[in-house]
Amino acid sequence: MDRHEYRKNGKRLMTDGGTNEQDNYTVGGFREWQDGKLARDPDEALPHTGFVRDEQIDRQMTMRALHHDPDRWDSKAAATYMDVGKNRQILKGEGSDTSRTALENGDTLTLKHYLGDPAQEADLSGIKAITRLQEIVAGPAPVIVLLGEMGAGKTNLACLLAQLRDRWVDGNMKIASNIRTLPRNDDWVRDNGDLEDGWIPHYPLLEEWVGQDGNPVENPQQPKLFIGDEFSTNASGTGEDGQLVRKLMGPLVFKIRKYNGALIYIGHDESSIHPLLWRRYDPEKARSERQGESTRRRADFRRKAS
């Protein structure tokens, strides 16, 4: 079958007919690479590439991507330019126009770009996700914050992270929590000899649990993990309660790490977690910074090319 090219002002827009398996494989693989699902990161292409065919709108979207900086937002920032609602609407509108034109003209390569080729994904078994979890969980004395809506599975994820840390790092870890129904809360002995079941409902008891093995300089410390669910909801940071939090929370965060401990805190949103906790570790911000660096590299590359 012969190929037919569609041109506008001398520029080739698309080709139909004569499409072979290699063409489909390449275009489908490009989509998987563009979505970050192949081994090599898509540093040379933006997510809207190929879907927005209007040159002016494509250029505008590119500039929005290159200059997106979450740190410059006054309100809660979008992690990437594609998390901005207006940009998603532009992509949907332009992408719809591109796909309609492709359907009308039988442009199978463009349609293949939309469909992608999941069979080419390098991460079919979730290796990237597991590796990312291991980087977070197996780090030295991590402070992990989980935020999400009610019923989103935050507590189940916290339990999974605890199991992974126990397997990957410690092996004989003692777990405590302020979640009464947590499947695992390990028994421990208080200074006065009382046996506790691992449920820690308030700060003083948590501080005693952290230091149960004595001075870390003189005594070996059993690995520990505390899971707090909305533990600092009442710690709004204001009034007398805020003074207590500022007095106790900061030292406690550092102390539990000093005593070979790790923390997992669960909250509804950032307002329910005291800043002294979520500032210790913010993987989403770190990921946004890496994405921003990749975007800046693309900008430098394009300036040099032009």
299/306 Cα distance (integer angstroms): 11
**Structural domain boundaries in the chain:** 4-123, 143-280
pLDDT at 22: 81
What CA–CA distance (Å, rounded) separates 246 from 240? 10
Enter the tokens of residue 111: 């349609």
Chain center to CA of 106: 38
Q: How many other β-carbons are positioned within 10 Å of the β-carbon of residue 288? A: 20
The one-letter amino acid at 208: E
- CA gap 36, 291 in Å, rounded: 12
For the segment 120-179, what is each residue's pLDDT rounded down to a tens digit? 776 555 666 777 778 888 877 788 888 877 777 888 888 888 888 888 876 788 888 888
Q: pLDDT under 50 in the chain at which residues?
A: 1-2, 6, 11-14, 17-18, 232-238, 281-299, 301-306
Backbone conformation region of residue 193, classed left if phi is above 0, alpha if psi is from -120 to 50, else beta:
left
User: 230: burial class by Cβ within 10 Å (0-12, 13-18, 19+)?
Assistant: middle
The neighbour count for residue 43, using CB atoms within 10 Å, is 11
Cβ proximity of 99 and 113 under 8 Å: no
Alpha-carbon gap, residue 54 to 46, rounded angstroms: 15
Helix ranges, the chain (H) = 21-34, 55-66, 85-105, 108-115, 127-137, 154-165, 203-210, 239-258, 275-278, 283-305
CA distances 147 to 143, 186, 266, Å, are: 13, 25, 6
Does residue 99 contact residue 114 with C-beta atoms inside 8 Å?
Answer: yes
Return the SS3 of 80. Answer: coil
Residue 79's Cα: distance from chain center in Å? 10
pLDDT at 120: 79
CA dihedral 280, 285, 291, 292 (to 10 degrees): -100
CA distance 48 to 63: 12
The predicted pLDDT at position 113 comes to 93
Tell the CATH topology of 143-280: Rossmann fold (3.40.50)
First to last CA, the chain: 37
Note the pLDDT of residue 286: 39
Secondary-structure percent of the chain, ordered helix, strand, coil, rounded to 5: 50, 10, 40
Q: What pLDDT was estimated at residue 88?
A: 94
